[in-house]
Amino acid sequence: MGTVKVKDSFREYLSKHNLKATRQREIILDEFLSSPSHLSAEELYLRLRRNNPNIGYATVYRTMKLLAESGIASERHFGDRQTRYEPNISEEHHYHLICNACGKIIEFEDPQIEALFVKTAGMHNFTLSHQRLELYGLCPDCQPS
Amino acid sequence: MGTVKVKDSFREYLSKHNLKATRQREIILDEFLSSPSHLSAEELYLRLRRNNPNIGYATVYRTMKLLAESGIASERHFGDRQTRYEPNISEEHHYHLICNACGKIIEFEDPQIEALFVKTAGMHNFTLSHQRLELYGLCPDCQPS
DNA sequence: GATAGATTGATGTTCAATTTCATTTCAGTT
DNA sequence: AACTGAAATGAAATTGAACATCAATCTATC
């Protein structure tokens, strides 16, 4: 789904919840969509300040929470204590392969894995909403030779 | 592996690292082993205070870190910002099914899933060290009927 | 039991995240 | 276009989990 559609769906979410489409929310969403994935709210705030020195810290936090609630972004926790955000670009669920040494993050998808998740949830009579999978190890560059 | 063995392996870890086997560390390990899984350091501290009002907050944090380093416990992050600990009871890797509504946590294992993880890591030339999988959804009790 | 070095625990600090609140902005109405 | 009530903003204060500090205490070893 393209940027325009995402922006429309955010506006729709806002009006459906009697929230307002403000200039700041638009700017933050734009910056989020044009930034690398897995940024923290803090990092996004720093990026925003470059072109919008007037945007507040708390507003970035609040807007990121909104984006998560509206399904546009997902909150993620990796090793550290910060919450990071990634855009829900596609309908596909994707997973992460993370290098213990250099921190490199590789995203991947796997329908076979996903099928097993659905099956497992079903066995426990759970309705599945979302899932997190992280595989940790050493990437080719960081392996002792 | 039984409680006694765990305690021995902790003592072994301590002496191997020139650390000392103190009364507090023993008490904390005992409480950890006899508590429900997935407690935070804070929760464990509160439990400990009931019988050991003299044990310090920081000591619990430090000891939990030690337990994690020694392989007796694993640190986990679920939805919230707290670090939770679970005992590494078995050699099997296990995963979590978590209810969005009531927070219930169900553990499960699945060799088939694990095999796919190994295969995926191999495809990216990663050496796999550990993995986290969490499936979120609604448990049978929390589903709208 | 003396000694060196590690540990404890009360307190302080850090840092991400949240809350507060006076002021401003938005969206719908006239 | 001006009015109005509700929501949003931003600066600053607050929270809360986790970690650091340091004098007093305990442990392992000799």
Residue B55 is predicted with a pLDDT of 93
B41 CB neighbours strand D below 7 A: yes
Residues 15-74 of B with CB under 7 A from strand C: 18-20, 22, 24-25, 54-59, 62-63
CA distance B122 to A125: 32
Residue A31 has pLDDT above 70, yes or no: yes
Please tell me the pTM assigned to this model.
0.75
Q: What does the pLDDT look like over A118-139, one tens digit per residue? A: 999 999 999 988 888 989 888 8
DSSP-based three-state secondary structure for A95: strand
Q: Between residues B101 and A64, which one has the greater pLDDT?
A: A64
Residue A91 is predicted with a pLDDT of 58
Residue A90 has pLDDT above 60, yes or no: no
Residue B83 is predicted with a pLDDT of 92
CB contact at 8 A, A100 and A62: no
Please report the DSSP string for B70-127 in residue order.
Answer: TTSEEEEE-SSS-EEEEE--SSS--EEEEETTT--EEEE--HHHHHHHHHHHHHTTPE
Start-to-end C-alpha separation, chain A: 42
* DSSP character at residue A65: H
Residues belonging to chain A: 145
Residues of chain B with pLDDT under 70: 1-2, 4, 89-92, 101-102, 145
Residue A32 is predicted with a pLDDT of 95
Nucleotide C19 C1' to residue A62 CA (A):
12
Nucleotide C16 C1' to residue A41 CA (A):
9
CA distance B97 to A124: 9
